[in-house]
Amino acid sequence: MNKLLSWLGSIVDHVSLQIDTSSPLLLPSQLVELVRAVEGADEHDEHRWIEWKSSGLDPATAAGQAHIVKQIIGLANRQPTAAAQSAGGYGYLLVGVEPGEITGVTTVDPATLIGKVRSCIGDAVQWRPEYVQVDGKTVLIVIVDPPKPGDPICYTRKHIDKFQAGTIYVRHAGRTDQATPNDLDMLQARLLERTPSLQMSVAAIPATIEEVPDIRGAVDEWVVRRRPALAAARYRPASRRPGASSVDTTLGALIQTVQDTRTQEQYAAEVEQFLDETRPVLVDRGIWDLYRHEPASLVLTVRNPTDLGYAAVRLVVKVPGKVMSYPEELDNTLDGDRPDLPTAPKPLGTPTTRSLFPQLNRSYDLASRMPALHLPGPGPSYTVRDTESVTIEYDEFELRPHDEMTLEPVPLLVHEAPGATLTATWSATAAQVRGRLTGEFIVTVGASTLRLDNLDEDLEEDE
């Protein structure tokens, strides 16, 4: 237990483009967030899935439209599995924003822009323009649908500005270039691909997980508060209640009262023994409560954006940093009922009672004679291993077309400071589907909201 509660520390993972790309960014609020992320990014932070352009690009001109055509073709000509690692495979071109500045853009009627661009790329590529308002400035965001196995090779279908008809562009890290021989090999393989590849996204919902609270500190504070009250406790005889019946008087005559013979020193020793016995039980209660505190668990959703259903999906997630699973030695504590507290010593001077008829000491406790009711649970849906990072292996599951599934919460012990960001990585495979898909998502560590002032109380949920 000491080892469990002593593992503390913090690591803050720096992420240059501050936005969660574990799922598509399609809602208006997400697009505004994307603009903000680009504004706060470094100028070298462009990736395969995003391109931005601020000064000198006017979508109303042939040069501006040619640039849009080039970027759409490059984003459409990506390898599907690699593209699916970010934003669900979608590609984004932002016009009117760059790192450090939102300049805005002159708006063009979307129908006009779509007509000009479509004449250069054809109908095989699905894309759309969106305008968003940020700080009073209008930013154009061109969203390109994810590439899929079997997609045709995209190229310019007519001359526009300085780009010749028949030119093939491919999006690389931070730039869009004319296709190389290797790119052409990839595009040909994509075109001829018959066995579908796995496409899915994984995200933490919510994208936060709470730190381990200071359970031992809370227990120490409880002991400090409780000790003086226990030490000063003295017996006060109850006055005879009004209207006591003759039956009460008769029963009282059958009970023998023995005065308390404990000394002050003996009572003080009992108090210390009680506190010593209670301390570890309160710690166990705190851990028992934490295990069931969902904000301290990792909850993942998986989404299938395709028309193909996946069977026997195997998902493995690794969470870095000072994160660990619950030790095996706690299994009995965590799986059972909330631990019972020891009985506090009776106040000094409390007489003991003894029935003159021993059989009267026996009480019929109906509750103790009833079998405990244990409802069957869903069963284990994952296993957790402590490696250099925590590794979570989920049991196989099915993912229907366009389905989104929330997986069972995984309780974890997070010894990171609030505000730290953890970049989790994942990999997935499925039956009768080619390839192994990988990706990542970000989890932010939050301050604990677990109550620690009720560790000495019995919760209704325990019943």
Mean pLDDT, to the nearest integer, of 317-327? 92
Helix, strand counts (H, E) of the chain:
11, 24
Question: What number of CA atoms fall less than 13 Å from residue 421's CA on the CB side?
Answer: 13
- Could you tell me the CA-to-CA distances from 187 to 91, 180, 182, 302, 316 in Å, in that order? 17, 11, 9, 28, 29
Q: By mean pLDDT, which of 30-44, 209-223, 378-392 is the weakest?
A: 378-392
- DSSP of 98-111: ETTEE-------HH
**pLDDT at site 241:** 58
pLDDT tops 80 at residue 5: no
Average pLDDT (30-57) is 85
Estimate the crossing angle of helix 215-232 against helix 264-291, to 10 degrees: 150
pLDDT higher than 90, residue 53: no
Q: What is the mean pLDDT of residues 430-439?
A: 86
Q: What does the block give as tokens for 166? A: 């028949």
pLDDT at residue 253, rounded to an integer: 55
pLDDT at 32: 95
pLDDT for 148 beyond 60: yes
The better pLDDT of the pair 12, 384 is held by 384
Asked whether residue 56 carries a pLDDT value surpassing 90, the answer given is no
Tokens of 203: 């995200």
pLDDT (0 to 100) of residue 193: 76
Q: Is 443 helix (H, G, I), strand (E, B) or coil?
A: strand
The burial class, CB within 10 Å (0-12 / 13-18 / 19+), for 427 is middle
Q: For residue 185, what are its two tokens? A: 């090999």
More confident residue, 120 or 42: 120
The band of 290, judged by pLDDT with boundaries at 50, 70 and 90, is very high
Give the Cα separation of 431 and 396 in Å (integer). 10
Residue 382 has pLDDT above 70, yes or no: yes
pLDDT at 332 over 60: yes
Proportion of the chain above pLDDT 70, given as a percent:
84
* Weakest-pLDDT range from 10-14, 304-308, 330-334: 10-14
Does the pLDDT at position 377 exceed 60? no
Percent of the chain residues topping a pLDDT of 90: 59
pLDDT at position 247: 47
Question: Would you state the pLDDT for residue 365?
Answer: 38
Flag whether pLDDT at 30 surpasses 70.
Answer: yes
3-class DSSP assignment, residue 444: strand
Q: pLDDT for 63-92, tens place per residue?
A: 999 999 999 999 999 999 889 989 999 999
Rounded mean pLDDT, 120-133: 93
Q: What's the pTM?
A: 0.55
Which pLDDT score is estimated for 57? Answer: 86
Distance CA 417, CA 446 (A): 8
Mean pLDDT for all residues in the chain: 84
User: pLDDT tens digits for 92-115?
Assistant: 999 999 999 999 998 999 999 999
- Pick the residue with more confidence: 358 or 178? 178
- Record the tokens describing residue 292, joined without a space: 């069931």
